[in-house]
Amino acid sequence: MESTKKTLPRNPTRPVRVGSVTIGGGHPIAIQSMCATKTKDVEATAAQAEDLVRAGAAAVRVAVDSRGDASALAEIRRRTSANLVVDLQENYRLAEVVAPHVDKIRYNPGHLYHHERGKPWQDKVRFIAEVAGAHGCALRVGVNCGSVDPVHKERFDPADSLTPMIESALEHCALLDDIGFRAYVVSLKDSDPAKVIEVNRRFAAARPEVPLHLGVTEAGLPPEGIIKTRIAFEQLVSRGIGDTIRVSLTVPNARKGEEIAAGREILADIAAGRVRSVVRYDDRRLNIISCPSCSRVENEAFVELAEQVKELTSYAAPHAITIAVMGCRVNGPGETDDADLGLWCAPTFVNLKRRAESLGSFSYAQVLPKLKEELDRLIAAKGAAGSS
């Protein structure tokens, strides 16, 4: 399970047990991945979990969006040796259904508002922590740039996307500490490597004892997705920040092991001093972000679409434009808002956006020409603005 046999600098974080692996406390940095199969498909999900374990995954995450997904976990648990992590979405109460069968539960503070809206978030976290504690599960407080707790988001300047993330994470850590639940890790993710570096450095300075899960969300297709992730990891891991990592790549199901291989290579290079990056990703050129293939993707054509977008837009490489390609309703609506152009995929159509503005819904075959029209319009507008 060890990600590298070399010695890496480490912050003195407390240990958190996740099944057969310990995160933090000076233990080797654990590499994780996530199943891209439908969780209800027990055979495919268990097989992919085992494939990821053979590739070197210390933990494997699966998404649970319904009771049907949750009910499949008992059989998945019987069929795999993986340390299983479940990704809760809107329905926090599913924690009690999944906890007996997994080793860690990840919840997103920003998603706690989607279910039982009138109930205080503190009560929901207490429920999750109580269930996790009763079954020996660890927790991950997973803060994501595209779904920040709305209360914190409203308190700060819209141009400051990092402080709301940090404040949300600190608030949840304080509550978990107050109720005596210490078996938790934190993640703070963005699609911009520079922001990932900054937000994790700031959190680590405030709570150096809390283990950190590192990742660049929606890193995109390889090789660019690996480059973005490498930039963030090199700057953080080389400073002792980070106890477990995920390389989030947009790849077909059969290639999910590439996430583990990329993580291993990055950690080995950092340990050997082969650091290749600067802190800031090149923001003077076209930037395509896309979420990793996972079980929430409602149409596997999403991966092919992301590849087609990359090919179609190659002519725009010299322009500072961000295009986001998202695979589901969880990441899609919010996490395309900051992109110049965004596509988020439903089962039979793709929603096209210009930042937060909807430009309509199109079939998978129709959306690429529409995207090119909007991209050409955007390039022309930027050119006109630059010459005026």
pLDDT digits (tens, 9 = 90+) for 58-109: 999 998 888 889 999 999 999 999 999 998 877 899 999 999 999 999 999 9
For 20, the token pair is: 């057969």
Q: Report the C-alpha gap between 368 and 374 in whole angstroms.
A: 10
Q: Kindly state whether residues 21 and 57 are assigned to the same domain.
A: yes
Q: Tell which of 238, 271, 304 closes a domain.
A: 271
CATH of residue 135's domain is 3.20.20.20
Q: How many CA atoms lie within 13 A of 214 on its CB side?
A: 35
Over the stretch 170-219, which tens digit does the pLDDT of each residue have? Answer: 999 999 999 999 999 999 999 999 999 999 999 999 999 999 999 998 88
Q: Kindly state whether residues 134 and 82 are assigned to the same domain.
A: yes
Q: Kindly state whether residues 301 and 250 are assigned to the same domain.
A: no
Q: Report the C-alpha gap between 237 and 256 in whole angstroms.
A: 23
Q: Kindly state whether residues 115 and 236 are assigned to the same domain.
A: yes
Q: Kindly state whether residues 253 and 353 are assigned to the same domain.
A: no
Q: Kindly state whether residues 294 and 349 are assigned to the same domain.
A: yes
Of 180, 165, 179, nearest in space to 108 by CA: 165
Residue 364 has a CB neighbour count (10 Å cut-off) of 18
Q: Kindly state whether residues 265 and 156 are assigned to the same domain.
A: yes
For 303, the token pair is: 């991966």
CATH of residue 356's domain is 3.30.413.10
Q: What's the domain range around 302? A: 287-387
Amino acid letter, residue 309: V
Of 172, 169, 148, 171, nearest in space to 160 by CA: 148
- How many degrees, rounded to 5, is the angle at CA 248 between CA 220 and CA 42? 120
Q: Kindly state whether residues 178 and 109 are assigned to the same domain.
A: yes
Which band of pLDDT confidence, cut at 50, 70 and 90, is reported for residue 25? very high
Q: Kindly state whether residues 218 and 358 are assigned to the same domain.
A: no
Say if 372 falls within a structural domain: yes
Say if 5 falls within a structural domain: no
Using a cut of 0.75, tell me whether the model's pTM lies above it. yes
Over the stretch 352-380, which tens digit does the pLDDT of each residue have? Answer: 999 889 999 999 999 999 999 999 999 99
Q: Kindly state whether residues 238 and 320 are assigned to the same domain.
A: no
Say if 300 falls within a structural domain: yes
For 229, the token pair is: 């992730």
Over the stretch 31-60, which tens digit does the pLDDT of each residue have? Answer: 999 999 999 999 999 999 999 999 999 999
Say if 4 falls within a structural domain: no
Of 157, 125, 160, 159, nearest in space to 142 by CA: 125
Say if 129 falls within a structural domain: yes
Domains contained in the chain, number: 2
Q: Tell which of 239, 271, 303 closes a domain.
A: 271
DSSP, collapsed to helix, strand or coil, labels residue 136 as coil
Say if 379 falls within a structural domain: yes
Q: Tell which of 246, 271, 296 closes a domain.
A: 271
Q: Which residues pair with 353 in a beta bridge?
A: 342, 358
Q: Report the C-alpha gap between 36 and 62 in whole angstroms.
A: 8
302 has pLDDT over 90: no
Q: Kindly state whether residues 185 and 309 are assigned to the same domain.
A: no
Say if 11 falls within a structural domain: no
Q: Kindly state whether residues 366 and 245 are assigned to the same domain.
A: no
Say if 310 falls within a structural domain: yes
